[in-house]
Structures are given as C-alpha cells and as structure tokens.
Structure 1
Amino acid sequence: MPSAELGSVKSAMRVLDLFEYLRRWNAGQTHARIAAQLGIPKSSLTQLLKTLVCRGYLEYDPVSKGYFLGPAVVALGQRSAETRDLVSIAEDVLADTAHATRETCALNLLKGDVSEVVATASGSHRLHYTMRKGDTAPLYATSGGKALLAHLPEEMRRDYLARVSFEKITPRTIDSVPALEAELAEIARTGIAFVVEEFMPGIVGMARPILGRSGFPLAAVNIALPIARYDAALKRRCLNALEDAVLMLRERAGLG
C-alpha cells in the first residue's frame, strides 16, 4: 500500500479511536490525556482536534481544557436512527395510502445522486404502476427524488447542481440546471413535488418529504399513477393521502 494511503488509513483510525475513547468516558478529556491514552503524537493530535472542532464533531471547553463529542456526531447518529425507524414502520402506512387512493405508493431514501425505493404498496386498479424495493432513479427525474433534493441543505444542493449530468430519459425529462433550480424552489415553497412523464411515459408522480428533527430530508413518500386516470379529483385525493402518510410516519417515528 502506498505511503500516502497508509497515512490516510492511520488518520481515519485515529479519528475513530478518538470518538470511541470520548464516548466510552462520556466526559471531557484534555489534549495531554488523549495523546497519552491513544498514543498519538501531540503535534499530530493538535491539528486533528482543531479540524474536528471546526467541523462540529468535537467541542472544546476552555475552562476545563477538555474535549467532548460535538453536535455533528450526535446528528449523524440521530439521522441514522430516524431513517431506520421510518423504514421499519413504512409498510403499514403505505398500505393505508394505497387503500385510500387505489394507487401505488413508495417510501424513497436518498442514496448518493439517486433515490431508492425501500418500501412500497401496489395500487388495486388493474392498470397500475409498479415500484419495487431497490429501484433507483436520478433525483431530478422523479417526484420522490425532487422532494428530497429540494429540501437538502443548501451546501449539498449546490454541490449536486454543480456536477449533475442530465440524461433525457423521456422527452419530458428536465435537462437544465436553471429549470431544475426553479422547480426546486417551488417544491421547497409548497412541500410538494410533481413529475409528468419525466421518468416513465404515461406516468404521473407526486411526493412529499419527511423531514428529521434537524430539517434534513430523511425520506419522501410518493404516489405514481397512469396519466390516463389523472384528473383534479384524483390529484386532491392523492395529495390528501400523502399529507396523512407523512403525518402518520412522523408520529410513529417520534419525529413530532
């Protein structure tokens, strides 16, 4: 293994050792004590601690001169727990949504630059759209993906928009950053994302995000249906069912 790679591995191990050490004692630890207990040279430890404090993974108390686990570590663990809770309870809620609308619905999670279906319930019409666990799609092309993208922290959204490469999946797939930005602003304002034949010809989709306690989009609930059946009355019924689903999922997951 090249020396640079070995150095990166050593740095990663030091960060993990430090987090586990502070978690184990659940109390502030001084620079000198950390260096002695973990065997990290003081010069290397100084820069490591400064970086982690700057990023919010550690907090420093100037009175006791102790370092503690910071809010960024707590946020990582909280978000993971919140997401697991949502997935574990989603199927019953989706079944109720499918029953109320007779249309197919799903719970979608952010997975890099795509959204992934992690739970689904099929519609009861003979003609219905099928979504399966594990299905993925570009964030810009589906209602669930757009609902997630519109509610990402600004830094993450800017990073995505700076590097996104559009594929013209259908003739109606959005294909420019300015057009996507305008649509995301409207989704952020209303809390509802729509697509019409952007990912699949003949299919309409709509979605609402599920936000965690920090405001991060943990998931999105979407409904997908054939455009031949889509009218104002069905649109209202689906939007009401989505709102009910989000409220129920938040309540059952303890998100308030």
Structure 2
Amino acid sequence: MPPAELGSVKSAMRVLDLFEYLRRWNAAQTHTQIAAQLGIPKSSLTQLLKTLVNRGYLEYDPIGKGYFLGPAVVALGQRSAETRDLVEVAENVLAEIARTTSETCALNVLKGDHSEVMATANGTHRLHYSMRVGDMAPLYATSGGKALLAYLPDEMRQDYLSRVHFEAITPRTIGSVAALDNEIAEIRRGGVAFVTEEFTPGIAGMALPILSRSGFPLAAINIALPVARYDAELKQRCLTALEMAVKLIRQRAGVD
C-alpha cells in the first residue's frame, strides 16, 4: 500500500478509536487524557480534534477543557436508522411503481462517492432493465446518483466536485466538473434528475430525492427504462409515479 494510503488508513483508525473512546465516557475527556489513552502524538491529535470540532463531530467544554461527542455523530446514527426505515417502507412502494409503469425502479442511498441500490422492483416488460440490491454506480453517472449529489449540503458537494475523477463509462457519460455543476443547478431548479445512456447504453433514467426535514438527501428513487420506449407520455407517467412514491415513502417512514 502506498505511503499516502497508509496515512489515510491511520487517520481513519484514529477517528474511529476516538469516537469509541469518547462513547464510553459520560464526562468530557481532555487532550492529555485522549493522547495517553489512544497513543496519538499530541501534535497530530491537536489538528484532529480541531477538525472534528469544526465539523460538529466533537464539542469542546472550555470550562473543563475536555472534548465529547457532538451533534454530527448523533445525526449519523439517526440517518442510519432513517435509511433502514426507508428501505422497509420503500419495498411495497417500488412494487407499485413497477406495476403501474411496467418499468424497473429502485431506492438508492449515498455510499461514499457512489450511489447504492438498497431495494428494487423489476419491470414487467419482456425487455426491461434489471437492478440488484448492492449495485453501485458513480454519483455523476446515474439519475439516482445525481439526485443525491444535487441535494447534498454545499460543503459536501463542493468537496466531491473538487476531487471527482470522471470515467467515460459510455460515450455519453458526463466528463467535466463544469458540466456536472450545470446539471446539479438544473436538478435543483426542477427537482428531478435525468440521464440518457450515461451509465448503460440504451437505458434512460429519472430520479427524485427523498429529503429529510433538514433537506438532506436520505435516498433517491429512480426509474430506469430502455430509450426505445422513452416517449413523452411514458416520461410523464413515470414522473407522476415517482412523485407519488416520494410522498408515500416520506409519510410512511415518518419523515414528513
């Protein structure tokens, strides 16, 4: 493993060790206590703690001069629970979409720089696109991924755009930050993401985000279908189905 990757792994392990250590204590822990317990050099620990406080993962008690877990850690746990609830609720809704549109649909969630399929229902046409639970794709290449990306908080989205590497998965895959940024703005204006043959030749897709009360994209629900059937009437029917699905999932999962 290259030195840079080893450094990244070590940093990640330190963050996890720190979270687990602080979770065991009811009282805030000082810089000295953390360094001694976890064996992290004080100079490295200072920058790590500063970063985590700035991001909301830790809070600092100026009176006791100690650190404790912040609201962002709690939010991560809540988001995980919300995702599980969404998957359970979405399965029946996806089946209804597939029945009414005859097309394949899926629930996607954010997984690093990718979208991951968490639930799916296949279309009823003999010729249909298939998606499987666990399938992953770059955020920039699919409708579900773009719907998630467009509604990320500005800081997270800009961080992604600053380091994304585009792969020409098909001849129509988007290939520049400027083009992707323009699409993101369009998605945010219209509320829906579209792709045509950007991930799979011959397949078009559309997706809507499922947002938390604070506006974070908990998931995206998409429909994928052959471009040979993709006319104006079917497009509108699919959009209507997606809008109803998002509304139902939010209500049944208690997001509204």
Do they fold alike, i.e. is TM over 0.5? yes
* Bigger Rg, which one: 1
Unaligned runs of 5+ in 1: none
Q: Distance in 2 between matches of 1:21 and 1:30?
A: 12
Q: CA deviation at 1:71?
A: 1.3
1:201 match: 201
The CA distance in 1 between the partners of 2:235 and 2:179, in whole Å, is 24
CA distance in 1, matches of 2:157, 2:229: 34
How far apart, in 1, do the equivalents of 2:180 and 2:46 lie? 43
Are the equivalent residues in 1 in contact too, given 2:143–2:195 (CA < 8 A)?
A: yes
Q: Which moved more, 1:197-206 or 1:177-186?
A: 197-206
SS in 1 for 2:130: coil
Q: Give the equivalent residue in structure 2 for 1:71.
A: 71
SS at match of 1:250: helix
Aligned residues: 254
Percent identity of equivalent pairs: 74
Relative to structure 1, the CA distance from residue 200 to residue 57 in structure 2 (aligned partners, 3 Å threshold; closer, same or farther) is closer
- Amino acid aligned to 1:156: M
1:46-104, Cα deviation, whole Å (9 max, x unpaired): 66544432332222333555543211211222222222222233211111111221211
Displacement after TM superposition at 1:18 (Å): 4.8
User: Aligned partners of 1:177, 1:254: CA distance in 2, in Å?
Assistant: 35
- Residue in structure 1 matched with residue 230 of structure 2 by the alignment: 230
Q: CA deviation at 1:169?
A: 0.7
User: Equivalent residue of 1:245, what SS?
Assistant: helix
Structure 2 counterpart of 1:253: 253
CA contact (8 A) 1:168 1:174 kept: no
- Calculate the TM-score normalised by the size of structure 1: 0.81
1:250 partner letter: R
Letter in structure 2 aligned against 1:86: L
The equivalent of 2:167 in structure 1 is 166
- Partners of 1:16 and 1:115 lie apart in 2 by 23
Q: Please list, as runs of the form range in 1=range in 2, the aligned pairs for 1:1-256 lying within 5 A after superposition.
A: 16=16, 18-28=18-28, 38=37, 49-63=49-63, 65=65, 67-162=67-162, 163-170=164-171, 172-256=172-256
User: Structure 2: which 5+ residue stretches go unaligned?
Assistant: none
Question: How many Å separate the matches in 2 of 1:136 and 1:8?
Answer: 23
The structure-2 alpha-carbon separation of the partners of 1:24 and 1:111, relative to structure 1 and needing over 3 Å to count, comes to closer
Partners of 2:234 and 2:120 in 1: CA distance:
20
Deviation at 1:109, TM superposition (A): 2.1
CA deviation after TM superposition for structure 1 residue 16, in Å: 4.7
* Pair 21,139 (structure 1): closer, same or farther in 2 beyond 3 Å: closer
User: C-alpha separation between the residues in 2 aligned to 1:191 and 1:82?
Assistant: 21
Larger mean Cα displacement after TM superposition, 140-149 or 11-20? 11-20
